[in-house]
Structure 1
Amino acid sequence: MERIGLPATTPLADKPFHTKRAHRKTRAGCRNCKARKVKCDEGRPGCRACTARNQTCIYTIPPKGPKPSSAPEQPGRPASSAMTVLHEPLFIPARHDELDMRLLWFYTTTTYTSFSTGGLRQRSVDIVLKVNVVQHAFANPFLMDCVLGLAAMHVNHLKLRHLGVPALKELAYRARALETYRRAVEAADPATFPALLACSLLLCGLSTHVFRGREAQPLAILDWMVLWKGIGTIVEVTRLPLRFQSSGIATLFFRPDADLDASAQRLPGYLLSIAASISAGDPDFPLVATYYAALQHLGSLYLELARGLGQMLLLRIATYPTFLPAAFINAARERRPRALVILAHYLVFVKLRVKTRWWMDGISDHEIPSIAAFLGPAWEHLLRVPVAALQLTDHEDIARLLLDDPPIGSAPKT
C-alpha cells in the first residue's frame, strides 16, 4: 500500500518527514526523537530517524526513577555518551554499601550452610538461617554486623579474591560485630533476645580467627569454650518467653538428648580412669562429679560415632560444649590437666567436621599440640589418641582411631 503523495519505492532517506503512528513509549531513545516525540529504534551509533535526517544522534542517561529496561548509573562512574546497563538492579538499603550487599548475598547462598546440619527431621534449619536470621539482622544491627563479618571471613578463608574483601575490612567487620554485640547484651532489651541468641551462635564461628594466622594464640580453646557456653547462659538469663518460639529461630538451638549411662559405657577405659582415679587428697577431688558429667557427654560422641559418620554425629559435636558444666569450663581455664585431656579428645572429634564447617578448620591441629606441650611427658600416655590424630586427615581413619578399631592388615597394637 502506498502512502499519499509518495510511491512505495521511495527510499527512507527521501522521506524523512512521515506521518506519526502509535507506538510504545521508550525511555532510552535519543534526544532528537524525544524532542520530536517519535519512537526511536535506539540504534547505535545513530538511530534510523537521525540518520535519515542527517542529524547527530545523541543519547542521554535517563533520570533516576523506575527503569524497566535499565539500571541507575553506578556511583563513582562518569557518565558516558552510551547508556550503562546492568543485568540486575542494585538495591542497597540505608546504612549498607555495595560490599555489604555482596557479603549478605554470599551468606545466604554459601556461608549459612556451615551452620546447617542438613535435612535432620529434628532440625530443619536452612530456611531459618537464610530467611529468619536475615530478617532479624535487618532489624538488629549487631546481628547484621556478625553476619557480614562471618561472610567476609568465609570469603577470605576460601581465597575468593574476586569478591574483594580486604583483610583490614574483614577485621573491621569482626571488631564492629563484637562491640555491637557487647553493647546489645548490656542493654538487655527483651525485643532483641532472639537476635542475641542467633548472634551468639554465629559468633562462635566468627571468633575462630584466634586459631589461625597471626592472631593464633595457644590454648585459645579455653576462651572459645566460654563463648559456646554463653549460648546456654543467654537462654537461662533471657528465659525466652513466647517471643522466642514465634521468632522463628528456636530450631537453631535444638540439642539431641543422650543416654548418658550408655554413653559412659562406650568411653575408653583410660578416659574413665581420669575421674575414677581421683583420691580424697587430690586437689581435683571436689571436681569428680564435674569430670564425670563432661566424660558422659563426651561418651555420647563415641556412641554416635559407633553408629556411623552421620549428620546426628555432627550435631552432637557442635553442641557438646553447651552441655559442659560451668565448673568444668573453669577447671579448663585454670589449666587443670584432667580437664585439658578431656578437651584434647573432644578436639579429635572436631577434626571429623572441618570439611563442612570451615570455621572449625585448623582448630584441632593448632590446639592439640598446645595442650600436649603444656601438660608435658607426665600426661602423654593419656594423649596418645589426640596426638596420633594429628597425622590423620581421612575421616574413616580418625573414626577407627577413636573407636580403637584398626583396619584389616594393620600392625597389631603394642
Structure 2
Amino acid sequence: MPSRRSHRKSRYGCIECKRRRVKCDESQPECTNCFNRGTECFYAPREVEWVQPPQIVSSASRPKSPASSTTPSSSGWMGGNDAQPQAADLNLSDMELLLQWCSSTYATMAHDRKFEHIYQYILPKEGLEYPFVLHGLLALSALHLARASDPAAKARYFSIALEHQNRALSLFRPVISSINHDNSHTIFAFASLLLQLAFAIPPCSPLAEAHDCVQDLIQAFTLCRGLREIIGASWHWVSEGKFADVFKQVDDTKHWPLPETVEAALFQLRYLNESRGRRFEHHDADCYGAAISHLKDMMEIYQDKPHRFELALRWPFGLESDFLKLLKEHDPMVLVVVAHYCLVLHHFRHHWWMEGWSFRVAHSIWDQLDETWRPCVYWVVKEVGLEV
C-alpha cells in the first residue's frame, strides 16, 4: 500500500475522483478513493492570492488630525492629556455694565414704556454690528452705577464711562461721512444716546461742584446742533427705518393749559424781549422770540406727559445758530431765556441723568447776571429751589 501523502486542498478535487465522477473526500489527508485503489492522488493546484496585512501603527507615532484636540478621550471630555481649545478671558467689567443696561438702565432711557423693548433688546443687538452703539450703552450703564455708588466706586465707574464714551466717539466719527440707508437708523439711535450722555456726565463727575454748569450746557447744545445736521441729512431714511414707530407714535397734543405762574413768567419774558427790541437796535428780538416760543410749546406738550423727558432735549434741537453764538458769549438776554429753560429741566429732575441740572444751571446764571438782570429770573430760580 502506498504511503500516505500530504493532502492539499484543491478547488477541483483530485484527478482520479474527477475521472470516476465520484465525490472527492477532501477532508482527509489523502483522497479515500485514491487510497483504496492504491493510486497516487493529484490535486489541481489553486492560485494563492496574497494580501498585504494591515500595518499596525502605534499611538505615539500616529499623526493627529486638526480636530483631535476637541475629540473626547476614553475618559470623556474632561479627561485626557490632549490640549483643549482656550477661550478668551472674560471682560467682567463690560459684562457687568451690559447686565446693568439690560436689567435696569434701559428703562431709564426710554421715554415711553412701549419703546422699552427697543432699548433693552434692539439697541444691544445693533451694538454687535456697530460697536460704537454698544460702547454708548456701556457708558450710560457705568454712569448709572456711579450715581448710586460710594465716592470711591463713583470715581471708578465715572472713569470707565469716559473710556467707553471716548471709544464710542472714535468709532462713530468715520461712519458719519458715509451715512446710507442701512446705517442711518443706527446713527440716529446713537445720536440720542450721545445727547443723554451729554446730560448724564456732568452730574456724575466727582468734580461736578467745580464745573461751570452753563458751559456744560453749551457743550450739550453744541452737540445738538451737530447732530441735527447729521439727522437732517438722513431723515428720509430714518423716518422709514426700524425706528420709524418712535416718531409716528409721538403724541404732541396739548390737553392741559400751563400753570398760571408759568404762564405769567413766560408772558413777562416775551414782554421783556419785545420791549428791548424796540429800545435797542442791536437786540435781535426775532432770535430770542423764536427760542421763547419753542420753549412755551415744549412746556404745553408735557403738562399731561410726565415721562416725556425727550422734550427737554428737543428744545436745544430747535435753537438757531445765532442763539447758540450769543449763549457762548454769555449774552444776558440769552441767559435769562435759558434760566426759564430750567423750569423744563426741573420738571424732569426725577430722571437720574437730569437730576440737579435745573438747580445748578439756575445758580450759575444767577451768579453771572448783574443786579439789572436778576429781577428777570428771580421767580424762576426760586421755583427750582435756589435760595436768593
Class of the TM-score when normalised by the shorter of the 2 chains: 0.5 to 0.7
What corresponds to 1:358 in structure 2? 352
Asked whether 1:133 is paired with 2:123, we answer yes
Choose which of 170, 181, 184 in structure 2 pairs with 1:179.
Answer: 170
Q: Distance in 2 between matches of 1:116 and 1:288?
A: 36
Structure 1: how far apart are the matches of 2:159 and 2:386? 34
Once the two structures are TM-superposed, the CA of residue 236 in structure 1 deviates from its matched residue by 1.0
What is the percent sequence identity of the aligned residues?
Answer: 18
Look up the match of 1:251.
Answer: 246
> CA shift at 1:390, angstroms?
4.1
Counterpart pick for 1:213 among 206, 212, 221: 206
Contact 1:317–1:349 (CA under 8 A) maintained in structure 2: yes
CA deviation after TM superposition for structure 1 residue 348, in Å? 2.4
Q: Match for residue 157 of structure 1? A: 147
- In 1, Cα distance between equivalents of 2:333 and 2:80: 71
Is contact 1:143-1:199 (8 Å) kept? yes
Question: 2:274 maps to what in 1?
Answer: 276
Alignment-derived partner of residue 184 in structure 2: 193
- Equivalent pair of 2:273/2:285 in contact (CA under 8 Å): yes
- How far, CA to CA, are the matches of 1:274 and 1:253 in structure 2? 37
Once the two structures are TM-superposed, the CA of residue 100 in structure 1 deviates from its matched residue by 1.8
What is residue 146 of structure 1 aligned with on the other side? 136
Matches of 1:290 and 1:258, distance apart in 2 = 25
For the residue of structure 1 that corresponds to 2:280, the secondary structure is coil
Gaps of 5+ in 1: 1-33, 38-58, 66-71, 77-91, 394-414
Tell me if 1:296 matches 2:293: yes
Note if contact 2:362-2:386 (Cα within 8 Å) is conserved in structure 1. Answer: no
Q: For the residues of structure 2 that align with 1:334 and 1:190, how far apart are their CA atoms?
A: 39
Counterpart of 2:341 (choices 332, 342, 346) is: 346
CA contact (8 A) 2:349 2:358 kept: no
Matches within 5 A, 1:234-245: 234-241=230-237, 245=240
Distance change in 2, residues 1:201/1:302 (3 Å): closer
SS of equivalent residue, structure 1 residue 378: coil
Contact map agreement 1:149 1:173 (CA 8 A) in 2: yes
Kept after mapping to 1: 8 A contact 2:340/2:380: yes
Partner of 2:229: 233
Structure 2 CA distance, aligned partners of 1:283 and 1:222?
26
Q: Is the 8 A contact 1:341 1:382 kept in 2?
A: yes
Q: Give distance in 1, aligned partners of 2:373 and 2:349.
A: 27
Bigger-Rg structure (1/2): 2
Deviations 1:361-412 (A, max 9, x none): 222222111111112211111111232134279xxxxxxxxxxxxxxxxxxx
Contact 1:193 1:240 in 2 (8 A): no
Task: Give the direction of change, closer, same or farther, for the CA distance of 1:379–1:73 in structure 2 (3 Å limit).
Answer: same
C-alpha offsets along residues 262-317 of structure 1, whole Å, 9 cap, x if unaligned?
A: 88x945321111321123562543x3222222112222344346x556335x4433
Instruction: Give the whole-Å Cα distance in 2 for the aligned partners of 1:194 and 1:249.
Output: 9
Contact 1:255 1:319 in 2 (8 A): no
* Rounded Cα–Cα distance in structure 2 between residues aligned with 1:149 and 1:276: 44
Q: Deviations over 1:200-249 (max 9, x none)?
A: 111112223235432633412112112234443222122332x6523336
How far 1:198 moved relative to its partner? 0.9
Cα RMSD after superposing both structures: 3.8
Distance 1:315 1:253 in 2: 15
Equivalent position of 1:46 in the other structure: none
Question: Would the aligned equivalents of 2:195 and 2:313 in 1 still touch at CA under 8 Å?
Answer: no
State the AA in 2 paired with 1:217: D
Matched residue pairs, number? 304
CA distance, structure 1, for counterparts of residue 141 and residue 291 of structure 2: 33
Give the corresponding residue for 1:369: 363
- Contact kept, 8 Å, 1:301 with 1:316, in 2: the verdict is yes
Report if the CA contact (8 A) 1:155-1:165 is conserved: no
Secondary structure class of the residue paired with 2:224: helix
Give the letter aligned to residue 170 of structure 1.
A
1:149 maps to a residue whose letter is: A
